[in-house]
Structure 1
């Protein structure tokens, strides 16, 4: 391995929890972080009070200067950018304009939680689970003007556990990405890694998720809905609308099992009970035994507790 070039200056771009292991690893490995660029504070919680991004909190713990530009294209922001030899980017959440990417000598490296070119875009982890992928991984790549389009420096693959949820897979990939970055960074700065262009013909794209993406279509197969429950935890959540006590209420399905049992002559979305599951919902193919769910405004509960409180509940059309 090449000698770690501590004298190089790094400007780190990142916003959510995913970026924290990479920032931690760079700091603990002795690299000089001249600043952290993150998204502006945003309203959060029921009271919609301004809350700092997770990366801002961590950077302040390290006494690293924090920058939160509204627009990366503004001349005022460009004038504030501290001199850096390389940018490291991990889930920053904005496209960095070409004129900014060209500033550092060694360009900008991005840590992306998929095996590019599969699942470019903002929701690669959710997309891998939702589509039933058996393998995913992390990619260290050079950023260019297009989203997740630049050449690849290194990749590491891993099998997706059959019960993986977004939170569990997210944490694994965040750690793996940080570990891969710290392994290849000295080699890259020493000029010993030749980036390889992606096969753009094989690119697939993930989408920017909205709350509506979590709405369950009970006419879909049970396997697909079960993957949706795992992929969309905790947000946007896989949810449905139920009528309970003569009132329609949104209910998030937190955990479920695919079962073969069906009710004859019933439409998708019909609720019934089986010997193994007190709350079963029919789908377009097979059924889902509900394990845990969260009615709007209530605490998460198991199926038996839900039926005790809402014995007449049914899926609203």
Structure 2
């Protein structure tokens, strides 16, 4: 049997375990499609996405891994247009595999490979379609999530399900990075288990129940702003879901207006004795408590914009007048 000609679409770190698993199992893609380099950091240095960075490293002669016998083309199209469709058609691909690519792939490109397009999505579809399913699982207090491999169509995360694997969320303190890494690894394992049967056309995909669909969205900086009238338990989930991006933040009107990012926190059932939501108080062993709409948020690590993260006790020593202030 001729080798299956695969093209891999992926950009972020979530895609890396799946790409590595393909190569380890001798499904070396002919090409990897990833988003263009972007400016990053305070100095706006042009930076390659994680997938490109890794592919460059493993295909450089000095660091090439044994499985790589031929060059893997890296494609970074600005637009997925007719020119790109023609370029990718020249590979005569059998299959596209997509993981955290970050762009909508149009139908004329989805129709190119003989075996269709598989997408590795970090939720149990149809729950949490869209670009931020991991954050939504934490934010909504889900007790279970997982990974779905679906056959892509032109609608967002809408195509029929090929297989999935559940992941119980037994740790109610799990943070985004931990859940992200667990799901990325689970997706890679599920992909290599499923691929042989898919290539042999032994799997019949099952349509999603669209009546049960829920949706996540592209997260923006403003999504991380805290509304202190919400319950402490909800705000604590927000901190775990939105670290590192978009961050969970608030404003402290002192002698000047400070933007403060809450990096770590736990929720307390105890109510503040006085004050309105956002009021900062203390009790023994807890140097920085914030009154909320229900209960208090015990902040353990925080950052003033432009500074380094510091523990709450050190922060209060440096900014003692924050106690008794009200965050907005």
TM class by shorter chain equals over 0.9
Q: Deviations over 1:7-59 (max 9, x none)?
A: 00100000000000000000110013100000011110111111101101112
Name the Cα RMSD after superposition.
1.1
Q: Deviations over 1:219-265 (max 9, x none)?
A: 00000000000000101111111134x01111111111111221234
Judging changes above 3 Å, is the alpha-carbon distance between structure 1 residues 6 and 169 closer, same or farther for their aligned structure 2 residues? farther
Q: Counterpart of 1:315 in 2: which secondary structure?
A: coil
Q: Counterpart of 2:229 in 1: which secondary structure?
A: coil
User: How do residues 117-132 of structure 1 correspond to structure 2 at under 5 angstroms?
Assistant: 117-132=126-141
Deviating more after overlay: 269-278 vs 257-266:
257-266
Return the alpha-carbon distance in structure 2 between the equivalents of residues 17 and 172 of structure 1: 12
> Cα offset for 1:275?
1.4
Question: How many aligned residue pairs are there?
Answer: 311
The aligned residue for residue 283 of structure 1 is 292
Q: Are 2:267 and 1:258 equivalent residues in the alignment?
A: yes
- Equivalent residue in structure 1 for 2:279, among 270, 273, 277: 270
Judging changes above 3 Å, is the alpha-carbon distance between structure 1 residues 91 and 6 closer, same or farther for their aligned structure 2 residues? farther
> Cα offset for 1:6?
6.9
The aligned residue for residue 79 of structure 2 is 71
Return the alpha-carbon distance in structure 2 between the equivalents of residues 218 and 138 of structure 1: 33
User: How do residues 102-251 of structure 1 correspond to structure 2 at under 5 angstroms?
Assistant: 102-160=111-169, 161-244=171-254, 246-251=255-260
Return the alpha-carbon distance in structure 1 between the equivalents of residues 141 and 38 of structure 2: 33
> Cα offset for 1:83?
2.0
Q: Is the 8 A contact 1:119 1:204 kept in 2?
A: yes
Return the alpha-carbon distance in structure 2 between the equivalents of residues 152 and 239 of structure 1: 37
User: How do residues 300-311 of structure 1 correspond to structure 2 at under 5 angstroms?
Assistant: 300-311=309-320
> Cα offset for 1:79?
2.2
Q: Counterpart of 2:230 in 1: which secondary structure?
A: coil
Deviating more after overlay: 119-128 vs 261-270:
261-270
Normalised to the residue count of structure 1, the TM-score between the two structures is 0.96
Q: Is the 8 A contact 1:280 1:287 kept in 2?
A: yes
> Cα offset for 1:92?
0.4
> Cα offset for 1:285?
0.1
Return the alpha-carbon distance in structure 1 between the equivalents of residues 57 and 161 of structure 2: 32
Judging changes above 3 Å, is the alpha-carbon distance between structure 1 residues 44 and 6 closer, same or farther for their aligned structure 2 residues? farther
- Equivalent residue in structure 2 for 1:32, among 25, 28, 31: 28
Return the alpha-carbon distance in structure 2 between the equivalents of residues 250 and 222 of structure 1: 20
Q: Is the 8 A contact 2:126 2:208 kept in 1?
A: yes
Q: Counterpart of 1:312 in 2: which secondary structure?
A: helix
- Equivalent residue in structure 1 for 2:99, among 87, 90, 102: 90
